[in-house]
Structure 1
Amino acid sequence: MSVLNTPVTPLPEEVPTLLHIGGHWVEASGGARMPVEDPATGRLLCSVADASPADGRAALDAAVGAQRNWAATPARERSRILWRAYELMTADVERLARVMTAEMGKPLAEARGEVAYAAEFFQWFAEEAVRIGGDFGRTPDGGSRAMVLRQPVGPCLLVTPWNFPLAMGARKIAPALAAGCTVVLKPAPQTPLSSLLLGKLLTEAGLPAGVVNIVPTRGAAELVEPLLRSGDVRKLSFTGSTGVGRILLAQAADAVVRTSMELGGNAPFVVFADADLDVAVACAVQAKMRNMGEACTAANRFFVHTTVAEEFGRRLAEAMSALRMGPGLEPGTEVGPLVDAPSRATVAGLVEDAVVRGATVLCGGSAPSRPGYFYLPTVLTGVDPDSELVRYEIFGPVAAIQTFDDPDEVVRLANATTWGLAGYVFTQDVDRAMQVCEDLEVGMVGLNGGVVSNPATPFGGIKQSGLGREGGAQGIDEYLEYKLIAMPVRPAG
């Protein structure tokens, strides 16, 4: 494992650090600010305005005030603004990527990929905005004509995580705007800069004042709860932990707020005896190490057939050991730091528990001696099924390998979790592939591939991994209500 040591590049001066409310950049009402840290060094990057509950209320008031006009804006005009946002993002990839890497730590190459992925949501939903249809026809008894309209649900509260700070905002904002909804965005406190910069680009794209409002804060609970209970928020979209999701669902119940939840994952990665190991290993690195493993779709539990387990583990350890670790802004970096000290401590604790229970470390297994919140890519074999890293989401660069012999048994093991977001299956037997994909209790399956997400396809899980879907033709439905207009048919003559 080679380690790079170049210090972080300063942020561009034009990155906003204020709240964005009603089309204006403003300080927090109490003047509070919060630090943004570079996880590659542990040093302060900058500070941003720390929104109070009063600021959250002001942002919602702005969204409510802009809702009627934005909903009435012709779909073609909304589409043009979304297209312009796509064009501005694709023209500004380098700045967006460098800001994201500085505040979050992911390698610059990955950050560039995330910018492209985020921009595609604006492109996709620019096209969907002009395709919001309805229905018309007679009821079966012939006595009524029925017209079905699809209308914007209303002001939306969007709460996004730190691990994909630009993509998660885009994946929620783009369909909301396409549907005719206004937005209050509450980004994660670790990574507010990407969201604020996105707000700046949306303004440049021609978005009217008050349509998108952005309020980073360290006091998420104090800001979000009164908004959900106010009756003015008509839609909540949240990406984050299952525990926080449960709390938000309870708070949303009082005003019967429509909700979308993209929560935790515990993805199984199943390798059968007939799998192409070249493909399986390459995809394992891809599915495990994207964003240093800090992804809800990350492969978490590796189930490998006994006959190929030793070779697979050896080859995976070689591949992960060869990845180049360093600050994300350093050219050639493939593995950046984890987002903060608590995250690294959690990963270290999960590995320690597995080793105590008998797991063997094939590579990694510790934090390197260097500044920042780095943890070495790690492969463990002989993992006890009762280990904490099997039962909980790792959110770090750790592959935990268990073995199996019986195909039916591995499906049972893969489904033995409260989560059901993503899964990965590797086999060259077509019948087995389809049967296992159908039997896995997840919302998305990567079949002989390590990527499951695309703006043109629905993203989401089942069980305690969430509610609703983002992306694809289904994504805009989350922001639309159906309205029936029933008209009696009058007798002729």
Structure 2
Amino acid sequence: MTERSAVERDLLEQVPDGLFLGGRWTAAGEGGTFAVYDPSSGDELKSIADAGPDDAVAALDAAVAAQADWGRTPPRQRGELLRRAFDTVTARAEEFALLMTMEMGKPLAESRGEVAYAAEFLRWFSEEAVRIVGRYGVNPEGTGRTIVSQMPVGPSYLITPWNFPLAMATRKIAPALAAGCTVVVKPASLTPLSTLLFVKVLEEVGLPAGVVNVLTTTRSSAVTKPLLGDSRLRKLSFTGSTAVGQSLMKQAADGMLRTSMELGGNAPFLIFEDADLDKAVEGAMAAKFRNIGQACTAANRFLVHESVADEFERRVTERTAAMPVGRGTEDGVKIGPLIDEDAVEKAVELVTDAVERGARVLTGGSAIDGPGTYYQPTVVTDVRPGSKILEEEIFGPVLSITRFSSEDEAIRLANSTEYGLVGYVYTRDLARGQRLMERLETGMMGLNVGVISNASAPFGGIKMSGIGREGGFEGIHEYLSPKYTMTPDPFA
């Protein structure tokens, strides 16, 4: 068992262990609890409330009761609350970073980066709250006036994933609150602590009762079903796997809910013969190993022109083999644990399948004995068509390489997937870059950059990677409904 420092113990004590319903922290109605574990050791961090269906209904009751008042709250007041939350999260960045590393496993330096990223959604949408605009104009026939206003969608259900436990919460909560919507939030059971601490911050900076309600649970389906079946709910936002997203959309269809779905990815990383290889290698390391490879934006398939493939392989193999592995709080660690044993088994399965089909492991390629759920930073090359590693998200520190000989072949390989979240392109040819912007079937693209996420930009994909956008001014419109009003000609 890992010996916790006094700072870690004190921080865990600060995290609420109950549900947040109607402005009160409370035990689950059935009295159940579940444990949250540290993936670096397997040790229990904290026991928290395990919500059931009745708690879900109570959460929606609170959100519905608060909706009218919150929707009428002046935009400036909504924005100032979010700004206070930004200031507080920023001031307590070290606490949030340490908590995130404990529950999710990522290196502390990366957790600090996520806190900064998460806070930016609070600042961005605090500013967008006062920029919600409609329009007024004469209709084409001149017989009347057209008024288009923006109305809050209404009570919203937000389901967040485990891999970015704070940023995914702020990326959903901030635009909803800015738009005037109340919410019920369900964080992932693997990493709920960051969300609980964040909602405690919202409470401290003046959040009205019922505007944000939090359900922590190990029974996702049982909690979600009564919410999606309740006509008072008007919006569903989900980040997670495509299979779960499809199931949720089917359930949401009965109530004609507005939906935002940020689902799976299978990101191609294209390196052309004219690429700046120094920058391409830096971008590759960031795009692949950020968050231990556990990101929907992580580069999944490295497609490298045959003329530079040998040199690229040499450089990334050297860099990957030198990456220190360990607990995220240890100095110098670059690769922390995967989230659980299932994630380790998935990495083993995909690499084994690729090797059996003819791929070569250049470094790594194996799980690491516990305690903790670790997998070696890995480079696999000569990956053959049909390999599972080319078709499924790796969600681990595995860099797979396939060679190509022409631009058309690269685009064909890149687009040969049901997913379309993000792609990365390295080339010095401006015209080629512009062509790839149009020909790559993704909702986002990094051109000579390996990290693309930004609070001011619309995040989301096409095809089986989902619908809707988070971030940017587009993000707040996911929580607004345009309302058209016709008035008579005032001069008639």
Partner of 2:216: 216
- C-alpha change, 1:329 and 1:7, in structure 2 (3 Å) is farther
Partner of 1:134: 134
Structure 2 CA distance for aligned equivalents of residues 251 and 156 of structure 1: 15
Structure 2 CA distance for aligned equivalents of residues 406 and 52 of structure 1: 55
Aligned to 2:250, the other structure's residue is in SS state helix
Aligned to 2:282, the other structure's residue is in SS state helix
Output one character per residue of 1:126-154: Cα deviation in whole Å (capped at 9) or x when no partner: 00000111111110000011111101000
Q: How many residue pairs end up in the alignment?
A: 488
Structure 1 CA distance for aligned equivalents of residues 207 and 97 of structure 2: 22
Structure 2 CA distance for aligned equivalents of residues 298 and 205 of structure 1: 35
Output one character per residue of 1:10-35: Cα deviation in whole Å (capped at 9) or x when no partner: 44111111111111000111110011
Structure 1 CA distance for aligned equivalents of residues 342 and 368 of structure 2: 16
1:44-193 pair list within 5 angstroms? 44-193=44-193
Partner of 1:432: 432
AA aligned to 2:476 is I
Structure 2 segments unaligned to the other structure (5+ residues): none
1:292-307 pair list within 5 angstroms? 292-307=292-307
Instruction: Confirm or deny: 8 A CA contact 1:268 1:301 kept in the other structure.
Output: yes
Partner of 2:456: 456
Deviation at 1:42, TM superposition (A): 1.1
Aligned to 2:308, the other structure's residue is in SS state helix
AA aligned to 1:86 is F
Instruction: Confirm or deny: 8 A CA contact 2:2 2:43 kept in the other structure.
Output: no
Output one character per residue of 1:32-88: Cα deviation in whole Å (capped at 9) or x when no partner: 001101000011111110000110110010000000000011111111100000000
Instruction: Confirm or deny: 8 A CA contact 1:6 1:330 kept in the other structure.
Output: no
Partner of 1:30: 30
Structure 1 CA distance for aligned equivalents of residues 417 and 4 of structure 2: 40
Aligned to 1:326, the other structure's residue is in SS state coil
1:229-248 pair list within 5 angstroms? 229-248=229-248
Structure 2 CA distance for aligned equivalents of residues 208 and 177 of structure 1: 11
Structure 1 CA distance for aligned equivalents of residues 247 and 79 of structure 2: 35
Structure 2 CA distance for aligned equivalents of residues 389 and 456 of structure 1: 32
Deviation at 1:428, TM superposition (A): 0.6
Instruction: Confirm or deny: 8 A CA contact 2:2 2:41 kept in the other structure.
Output: no
Whether 1:344 aligns to 2:344 is yes
Structure 1 CA distance for aligned equivalents of residues 282 and 40 of structure 2: 26
Deviation at 1:369, TM superposition (A): 2.7
Normalising by structure 1, we get a TM-score of: 0.98
AA aligned to 1:347 is A
Partner of 1:417: 417
Moved over 3 A (4+): 5-11
- C-alpha change, 1:152 and 1:352, in structure 2 (3 Å) is same
Aligned to 2:445, the other structure's residue is in SS state strand
AA aligned to 1:391 is E
Structure 1 CA distance for aligned equivalents of residues 141 and 109 of structure 2: 60
AA aligned to 1:282 is E
Structure 1 segments unaligned to the other structure (5+ residues): none
Partner of 2:322: 322
Aligned to 2:400, the other structure's residue is in SS state strand
Instruction: Confirm or deny: 8 A CA contact 1:8 1:102 kept in the other structure.
Output: no
Whether 1:21 aligns to 2:21 is yes
Partner of 2:260: 260
Instruction: Confirm or deny: 8 A CA contact 2:18 2:49 kept in the other structure.
Output: yes
Structure 1 CA distance for aligned equivalents of residues 174 and 369 of structure 2: 42
Whether 1:271 aligns to 2:271 is yes
AA aligned to 1:456 is S
Output one character per residue of 1:327-353: Cα deviation in whole Å (capped at 9) or x when no partner: 011122111000011111111111111
Instruction: Confirm or deny: 8 A CA contact 1:34 1:218 kept in the other structure.
Output: yes
Percent identity of equivalent pairs: 57
Structure 1 CA distance for aligned equivalents of residues 259 and 490 of structure 2: 40
Partner of 1:441: 441
Higher mean C-alpha deviation, range 246-255 or range 42-51:
42-51
Instruction: Confirm or deny: 8 A CA contact 2:161 2:188 kept in the other structure.
Output: yes
Aligned to 1:330, the other structure's residue is in SS state coil
Deviation at 1:433, TM superposition (A): 1.3
Normalising by structure 2, we get a TM-score of: 0.98
1:279-298 pair list within 5 angstroms? 279-298=279-298
Deviation at 1:322, TM superposition (A): 1.4
